[in-house]
Amino acid sequence: MSTTSPTAWGPPQRLMPDNHWDWSIKVPFSQGWRCGPFIYVGGQISADDKGRTIGVGDIAVQTRNVFEAIKAVLAESGAEMRHLVKFNTFYVHDGEGEEIREYWEAMTAVRLEYFEEPGPVGTAVRVSGLAYPDLLIEVEGVAYVPELAGT
């Protein structure tokens, strides 16, 4: 049985798309990393290139911006949304009862625009807040691109 060792993949590639959102202070963090056939996308938010929230109060707008940011990070290494195998969604909502379901469905309706069958595995976690006060959603993910295994 033949396997490719991680050392055959070459060094990791930092993914930092041009004109992408940035943190409000200088940090050494990365938007993503490609490690062989795996791409790790750091938590993406709905922000402009200065880190200011886009779509304050609108979960659909913020969700769309987050998934567009994920697409941009994946594209940096030649990957697409179809390569995403796992994503974690953290969302803020302080409603109760039926409001929770309606909010989650509005967010999920946008998320579904980005996936075909069979889609990735996903987790959605309701949280009390994110890094910036107006953010409603943050998503991180892992992609697998077998074509990149030997490069």
- Residue 47 sits in a domain of what CATH number? 3.30.1330.40
Contact between residue 112 and residue 149 where contact means Cβ atoms under 8 Å apart? no
pLDDT of residue 34: 95
Tens-digit pLDDT profile for residues 67-96:
999 999 999 999 999 999 999 999 999 988
Residue 46 lies in a domain: yes
Q: CA 145 → CA 5, 7, 27, 61, 142, distances in Å?
A: 16, 17, 28, 28, 10
Residue 1 lies in a domain: no
Residue 73 lies in a domain: yes
Range(s) of the domain holding residue 91:
6-148
Split into its structural domains, the chain has a count of 1
Residue 101 lies in a domain: yes
Non-local (6+) Cβ contacts of 29 within 8 A are 23, 42
Residue 136 lies in a domain: yes
Residue 93 lies in a domain: yes
Non-local (6+) Cβ contacts of 75 within 8 A are 17
- Residue 1 pLDDT more than 50? no
Q: Where is pLDDT greater, at 87 or 5?
A: 87
